[in-house]
Structure formats: structure tokens, C-alpha cells
Structure 1
Amino acid sequence: MQKITSIDDRSINNNKERCRDFSPNHDLGKGFVERYKASAPFHLFYTGFEPSQDANDRSLAINLGDLIHVVMGTIEHSLHVTYSCSVDWLISMYKGAHQNTRMTIIAQKFETCNSRIIPKNVNIYHISMPGRYSSAHAKFSIFIYSSGKMRIIVTSANFQESDWLKFANGVWVSPLLPRLPPHASKMDDESRTNFKSNLLAFLKEYGKYVENMGVNSRNPSNYALSIGTTSDRQKLTSSLSSTPSTIYILGCYSPSSCVPNGANPKEEKQS
């Protein structure tokens, strides 16, 4: 896995034709706290709603700005794992949400409009996949708040503007997860569906790049995390839970394939 130090790096597509000014929207997030409470017990939302749609239809609408707005809490550290990421857009969303967050982005494809140095609070890692049709399609986020609590987001949307504004994607938002007591094991408070152990096993494959993310937080109950796997765009092999409330993350066809030549990211040396 390669760390990117500037966004004119060869791993990033500078798409000038799609460039525009991503103006921060300070209104996003203000009404989301109540909508989140009303969405219990599933907390499942959808992107791609038009502002003109009926208010009732918009009760489950969501934008990334809703999730990261300061009214939801001050985010100290965030992790975004995705297939494709618009760097300028994601950074502008955090600015509009009044968040000065230490951010880690892991993706296979990047897009930017401006060639400039990446902000010091942002770490970007490029996933190099073997094979012509291999894709790293995991899409999720982890937020660590100043309160010490954590939240997990699982979505079918890439971290780019069009996926959140123009297309219908599902977004599952976990409850706020408090830290376990200092004497507790990291596997304490596991749910009957093994959500926590599955998530930790997935994160472990990214090694030092996601170190300490989610280790000491409680687990959202009654949800199962299944890692779908694919080696190409036609063939899907997955390990699916039999429980009805399953959240799916589509990812690499084997964990070690998320880094160059199948190397373990925990052992890889930075050049």
C-alpha cells in the first residue's frame, strides 16, 4: 500500500473537466440528529434525494455533511475506506462541517481538481490491486469523537459528490459506541452476530494504516458484518450471515490482495 504525499501524484486522476468550486454547506447536519433518532432501530438512510422532494420522503435522506457536522460531535480522527475518492470534495465537506479532523483515506482510485500538497492532518493511501479486473470495493467509515466514543458508517456510496447527491445509495449509521473500561478485553461486549470480531479482523489486514481504530469501543448489537469478496466484476463469492440484519462490505477477493504483490501492509516498508 503506497502513501500519497501530494495530490498531483501519479495515482490520482486530475480531472479538470469535472472541476468546480466545492462550496461548504453550513446547513447540512442541523436536522439530522432528530431524523437519526426517528430512524431506530435500523438507522438505514439513502442518498440522492432532491431538495424539492416531499418532507416525508426525505425523512431517510442523508448527505455526508449530515454525518460529519459538528452537531453530531467533534471528530478527532476519521477513517474512510472506499473504492473511489474525490479528495477536494471530501476535504471541503469537513471544512463545511466545521471539523478539523485527523483523517485517513484508503482507496483504489482518487480524483482531484487542484494540484497541491495534501493537508498535514490528512493521510492518503493508495490500494494497488493485482489483476486487470480486481477492485477494492469496501466502503465504510469510522469516526472517533473527542468524547472518546466511536461511530461506524457502512455505505454503498463512494466518497465523491455524485454518489451522495445524484445516485441512490444505502447508508447504515451505527449508534454512538462508548469506550470499554480500561480493564476490559477488546472482545468484551461482543454481540451475538459477531459484528465486532468481524470488523476487527477486517481492519487488522490494513495493519499500521488503521492502527487503534475501533479496538476499545463497544459493539452495536444485533447487526452482523459480512465481508463480500470478488476477484472480478462478474463473479462474487461471499460469506453471508443468516441473520436478517446484515450489513455488507464488498472488498478484495483476499485481504492480502489489498497491497502490492500480496504483501502484508503490517510488514511493508515505506519507500
Structure 2
Amino acid sequence: MSQASLHGRWTVSSSDDDDDDEDIPPSGTTAPKPRMSPSPVPEPTPLEVKAEPVRTPVSSSLTIGSEARQSAARNQLNPVKFENSPSLAGKRKKEASDGSGWALSDSDEDDAEVKSDRQVDPPKRAPPNGERKKAKMESERPPSPHGRLYYIDEPDDFFESSVPCLNDTYRFYLNKVTGLDRKYNSGALHIRDILSPLFGTLKESVQFNYCFDIPWMVKQFPPEFRHCPVLIVHGDKREAKARLLQQGQPFPHVRFCQAKLDIAFGTHHTKMMLLWYEEGFRVVILTSNLIRADWYQKTQGMWMSPLFPRLPEGSSASSGESPTFFKRDLLEYLASYRAPELEDWIQRIKEHDLSETRVYLVASTPGRYVGADMERWGHLRLRKLLHEHTDPIPGEERWPVIGQFSSIGSMGADKTKWLAGEFQRTLTTLGKSSLRPDPPMYLLYPSVEDVRLSLEGYPAGGSLPYSIQTAQKQIWLHSYFQ
């Protein structure tokens, strides 16, 4: 599709590479999600982890994760090109002379690097010790599937802001975003903040997620915790699983646990950390994948639990429960994995006091449920909580339902199939009042212009999978878009 605009002509290629849609369900869930059949992918060649050569384009065959993430990586390596376009964001580089298109600049240092590339035979000098050490570290990194600029560090002052007070009611935080003024990152957290010694002396952790970049993840741990045991819980299979295990080979302290997905459309989307300290235990439920792109210039959210202390010796099995039964529900969710690798963690949680928790856990696990079991998981669990713990309010019929999404899957031939028949009904439940007839619903999804003007520019669209084939089957959905 080619269109003209005030910024010249641009071209968007429609493909079905993103049929394996990635969405972000409520934090800490394992959500079954219908998806289209992915396009045939060439048989992958054997992979070999090597040091990244300077300025050598990364092959798309090294992409990790699902087809959706592979498509995102390809889009970042081959971004949309502009014709006669004026300069856009100050962070973007000028188009490379080899015609390979523009890329994103992560810092002023990187812009200086581009300028130096254009010099003819620049004078050579012996780098300071710090630069030699950094160059050695760069050479030891495996090639990134997200492009050469993926590993460039944030500015030196990015991590200087103080950690926010954690004694608030909801314990919900946003992540830091590179490229914003420091005042807008006030009170936000980066993954390095979460794993820092300020929150406890870490002994061991479990990382549940959908996408992983193991070398990047390991680097986020502070040096004193960098070799603490880490268990990776993932849903990858076949070639994707082989690539993930290969990433972990240089790190003997990293182990893996594959989630059992017993139904065709089961997807392991859980994004959660279990952190075991010398001082206690903590749960973090978040929306970010464990890849740098999700922590760089995207707004993400996270819930961080209090530090749960260890129960006294001889405490009963029911001790340490919260008013919201968070401990019971977390243990039930972990048990649904049926994974021996999680048994030690289940026992550890039983030995800690989670009574300070003030939130309900809404989890989801693939399967087919009937009767009362339908209300144990997913949005029907949310509906039950709203029914039991809220009360009708005058004027509620005017309240709209507002949803924001990073990807969209198949929702049927019309709104009654799922959107209004199930999802809308859940979100409009308020106590034991009668159902509202047809409340307004607004669905927020980025436009082309929103993506173009974002901090990342067009490559950010790689994280917004919505296949043209699916979109053409549900034109009715467009009337909800805002």
C-alpha cells in the first residue's frame, strides 16, 4: 500500500508474517489466544553463537521467540523508507550511504559514531583502558536478533533517579523510557532497579515470560547477583526452543522449564518474576518481555509485591494468607504448570507470610473448563470478583468501556461473538445489578501517524501485530477504534 502525505511517499508492506499475534493479557496470566496459521518459514540452518562483527547486519534467521517477534525483528532490520521526507525525530540517523535505510540512534555518542564513519582513514589512537574493556565486552556478546544498535547503553544518568517509596496502596509502577526528560521518569522503575540490592539480597529467581534475550537479561542483574541461579519458564517449542537453549549455553547458572500447552491455541504469555532473598520473598507481575526493546522506549507497567517475610518454624499450611487469598491463588496457578522445576518454589512460597497483599490475582491457564471451573481463570474470574466485591453506582450506565491493546487477534464475524458477548459484559459487571444494555466501548489502537511520531518511529510497528487477513474479516471492529 502506497500513500502520499505531507512527509513524502511511504510504503507499508502487508504480510501474514504476524499472524502469530502477540497480545498482552492481564499481567501474570497464561492466556490461550486464537491465532491464524503462520506463513511457511524456511527451514532454519544450524546456529552458532559467535562474537558480533562490527557493522555486520544481523541475519533474520537469528530471531528468537514466536513468529510475531520474528516479524518484528525483520521489520526493524528493514524499516519503511521515505522519499523526499524532511528530517524526523532528532534521534534518527540519516539514511546510510549504502542504501540500507535509516536506523535508530540510542545516544549522542552513536550520532558521533556515524559521523566518524564518513571520515576517510581517521587517525588511529590507542584507546583508554575503559574503552578497551568495553570493546572486549562488545566482542564477546552474541549477535542480537534485534539489530546492531540493540546493545547500546542508556545515558550515564539514566539510572541515577532515586527508587520510589514502596509503601503506597497499589504498588503499581511504570517503567523508565529512554529519550524522555528525567522528570517524566520520576517514580518509574527499570529492570535494573527491580533487581538491585536496594530491594533485598537476591539468592535465586524465576523469570516467566514470552520472549527472552538471555545475554541481555543476565546483564541486568547487578554484579553481585549476576551468577545467582535463574530458572526460565517459557512456552517455546521445536526450533524456537532450540534457539532459546542455545542462548543459555554460555550461562551455566541459567536453567529452563517449558510450560505444557495442551491445547492448540495455548500461548505462554505470563510475565512474572519470583525473587527469593536472604530477607524474604517477592513477586513482580509485569507487561514487559525480557528483551531490551520492551524496556527501552515503550511504556510498560508492573506490580511489585511487598517483601514477604519467612513464617516462624512450625506454622500451619494456612498461615500467611492475605484477605484476597493471593497466596492460595498463586500456589494454584504454579501448580497448574505440573512442572517438577517449580516444586521447590511452591514449597518456598508456603513458608512465607503473604498476608500484606492487597490485590487479587487473575491468572489464566490453557484448557477447556466447564461449570464452576470456568470462573477460576481468565476474564470470567475477573467477572466473578467484580460481581462479589463491588456495588452498583448511580449513573454507571453512562460509564464507557475503554480498552488499549498492542495486538489484535480474531474476534469473530460480529461483536456478539466475543467482544460484546463476553469481554464487554465482564468489564461492565458492577455488583449484583442487572446487565447494562449496550454501554459505549472505545478501543485504543495506534494509527500509522502515532507510530511514525513515536520515539522509535516506524520500527515500533513491529510490536503491533494485526494481520491484514484477520483485519479484513472483522471490518466491523473499526467502528470501535479510537
Q: 2:218 aligns with which of 87, 91, 115?
A: 91
Secondary structure, in 3 states, of the residue corresponding to 1:124? strand
- Counterpart of 2:207, as a letter, is H
1:225 equivalent in alignment to 2:356: no
Equivalent residue, structure 1, for 2:381: 239
The equivalences for 1:167-178 within 5 A come to 167-178=298-309
Return the offset for 1:175: 0.9
CA contact 2:320–2:352 (8 Å) conserved in 1: no
- Counterpart of 2:187, as a letter, is L
Q: 2:175 aligns with which of 47, 53, 62?
A: 47
Q: Percent identity among equivalent residues?
A: 19
Aligned length: 228
The equivalences for 1:211-222 within 5 A come to 211-213=343-345, 214-219=349-354, 220-222=356-358
- Name whichever of 117-126 and 17-26 sits farther off: 17-26
- Distance (Å, rounded) in 2 between the aligned partners of 1:218 and 1:31: 31
Q: Alpha-carbon deviations, 1:79-106, whole Å to 9, x = none?
A: 1111221112111212557533111010
- Name whichever of 94-103 and 220-229 sits farther off: 94-103
CA contact 1:29–1:68 (8 Å) conserved in 2: no
CA contact 2:208–2:273 (8 Å) conserved in 1: yes
Q: 2:320 aligns with which of 160, 174, 189?
A: 189
Which of the two has greater strand per residue? 1
1:199 equivalent in alignment to 2:341: no
Secondary structure, in 3 states, of the residue corresponding to 1:196? helix
CA contact 1:80–1:142 (8 Å) conserved in 2: yes
Return the offset for 1:136: 1.2
Secondary structure, in 3 states, of the residue corresponding to 2:219? helix
Q: Alpha-carbon deviations, 1:114-168, whole Å to 9, x = none?
A: 7672422111123353455321111111100123x01110111111111222222
Name stretches of at least 5 consecutive residues in structure 1 with no aligned partner.
1-6, 245-271
Task: Please report the RMSD computed on the Cα atoms of aligned residues, expressed in angstroms.
Answer: 3.3
- Distance (Å, rounded) in 1 between the aligned partners of 2:216 and 2:343: 25
Q: Alpha-carbon deviations, 1:49-106, whole Å to 9, x = none?
A: 2353242x32232211110012322210101111221112111212557533111010
Equivalent residue, structure 2, for 1:36: 165
Pick closer, same or farther for the CA change 1:29–1:175 going to 2, 3 Å: farther
Equivalent residue, structure 2, for 1:66: 193
CA contact 1:24–1:97 (8 Å) conserved in 2: no
Q: Alpha-carbon deviations, 1:149-200, whole Å to 9, x = none?
A: 0111011111111122222221001111100001112321211110010001
Equivalent residue, structure 2, for 1:134: 266
Which of the two has greater helix per residue? 2
- Distance (Å, rounded) in 2 between the aligned partners of 1:86 and 1:116: 9
- Distance (Å, rounded) in 1 between the aligned partners of 2:301 and 2:286: 6
- Counterpart of 1:211, as a letter, is E
- Distance (Å, rounded) in 1 between the aligned partners of 2:344 and 2:287: 24
Secondary structure, in 3 states, of the residue corresponding to 2:165? helix
Pick closer, same or farther for the CA change 1:32–1:73 going to 2, 3 Å: farther
Q: TM-score with structure 1 length normalisation?
A: 0.71
- Distance (Å, rounded) in 2 between the aligned partners of 1:112 and 1:101: 19
Equivalent residue, structure 2, for 1:266: none
Equivalent residue, structure 2, for 1:121: 253
CA contact 1:76–1:144 (8 Å) conserved in 2: yes
Q: Alpha-carbon deviations, 1:212-254, whole Å to 9, x = none?
A: 32221111332111113567xxxx654123358xxxxxxxxxx
Name stretches of at least 5 consecutive residues in structure 2 with no aligned partner.
1-46, 50-60, 64-142, 368-377, 391-482
Q: TM-score with structure 2 length normalisation?
A: 0.42
- Distance (Å, rounded) in 2 between the aligned partners of 1:226 and 1:194: 11
- Name whichever of 98-107 and 77-86 sits farther off: 98-107
